[in-house]
Structure 1
């Protein structure tokens, strides 16, 4: 009987190999995040001394390149990273027209945040470096000092200094539900700065970008109407997700125009 019990608790060779691989991947991911934390926390914003930090740690390896792919997509969190092309395009639209005094909020869109960080830290970059915050539920991104924990279920549970202070914002609601979309819209409207009659000529309204499923179009246009958001012609691309996605914005640019209404007219 004892032997039977021991046999029932013994993993097969295949199961043991799979478990070993799982733990190895987990440990490698943890190590990468620790090295990335050292890199982004260094005095050099590009983290060029991170290799030295890694060598001091004793493994002689180089720090990982700043990349969204350092973070494994968590499908339970509904995480699907944008392609590099999409992330860079959206990041550049957030940067356009900003200054060092501008405030950018990246809400549940970490791939765009990483793209922003890479663009502004690149060698030779001379453009604006606005104050940027990543509002995110996944604590892995707390390796970045700009991380602010955010749960859409509590749309206003955020630092008071962000209220009405944001000049550029983007969000990609994690779930295609009315509840998630509505609460995130409440957050963005809370974040958005509102120009007063005295500042309208000197302070333009905030730029707002929403990326979410095409089937949420009617709701998104209704929720963000006070911010002037409309459906655009641009379709964000993900590395793996194949759902029909749309980009909604309150401005037009070289990358997109507003979509015509079914009647063929552009909504005014």
Structure 2
């Protein structure tokens, strides 16, 4: 006959402390993103009202500058960042031989986009570099003008202004499932 164990599992003090630290970090990260998102929304609205393009005040850029380290990988979205070395190799390959008219799109590889964004803008051959991602948090990294929502289940639905204009494309499908691979061909 099946016997119930009356012992309720209990975490050690060290485990409870680690769990609380994780929860606190997650709470802080969410608060930071909420603040950054609100600031980015306000900045975007102000620029549009003033009729400016994507030129922003340098002090604002420094205040809201993000790196891939600010984004926690989400295993439910199959997010796994490239190492800095790999992201740099891929970024170099995308930028090599590009000129000011080259349009580059990076799909589902935000760590590569972040590596390019971390470079001195004056060293980039083009400013026409766009990030397409399912996770909308990354609009904070790229800015609204350089972000496009992308869902691999609807591979042909992306920004109309870039259709037929992309010169270079880096895509890292979010899953290794056969269904996903078919949608990325």
Normalising by the residue count of structure 1, what TM-score does the alignment of the two structures yield? 0.51
What is the aligned length?
A: 158
Structure 2: stretches of 5+ with no match in the other structure: 1-9, 44-55
Q: Which has the higher helix share?
A: 2
1:148 is the counterpart of 2:148: yes
The aligned runs of 1:64-143 (5 Å cut-off) are: 66-121=66-121, 125-143=122-140
CA distance in 2: counterparts of 1:92 and 1:45, whole angstroms: 28
Report the structure number with the largest CA radius of gyration: 1
C-alpha distance 130-117 of structure 1, shift in aligned 2 (>3 A) = same
CA distance in 1: counterparts of 2:173 and 2:164, whole angstroms: 20
Normalising by the residue count of structure 2, what TM-score does the alignment of the two structures yield? 0.72
C-alpha distance 159-24 of structure 1, shift in aligned 2 (>3 A) = same
C-alpha distance 127-111 of structure 1, shift in aligned 2 (>3 A) = closer
CA distance in 1: counterparts of 2:61 and 2:132, whole angstroms: 23
Deviations 1:150-171 (A, max 9, x none): 1000111112222211001101
- Local SS of the residue matching 1:91: helix
The aligned runs of 1:1-268 (5 Å cut-off) are: 17=17, 20-33=20-33, 38=39, 42-44=56-58, 47-48=61-62, 50=63, 66-121=66-121, 125-143=122-140, 144-145=143-144, 146-185=146-185
The RMSD of aligned alpha carbons is 2.9
Structure 1: stretches of 5+ with no match in the other structure: 1-10, 51-62, 186-268
Contact 1:120 1:129 in 2 (8 A): no
CA distance in 2: counterparts of 1:155 and 1:167, whole angstroms: 18
C-alpha distance 12-80 of structure 1, shift in aligned 2 (>3 A) = closer
Deviations 1:179-207 (A, max 9, x none): 2112122xxxxxxxxxxxxxxxxxxxxxx
Deviations 1:216-255 (A, max 9, x none): xxxxxxxxxxxxxxxxxxxxxxxxxxxxxxxxxxxxxxxx
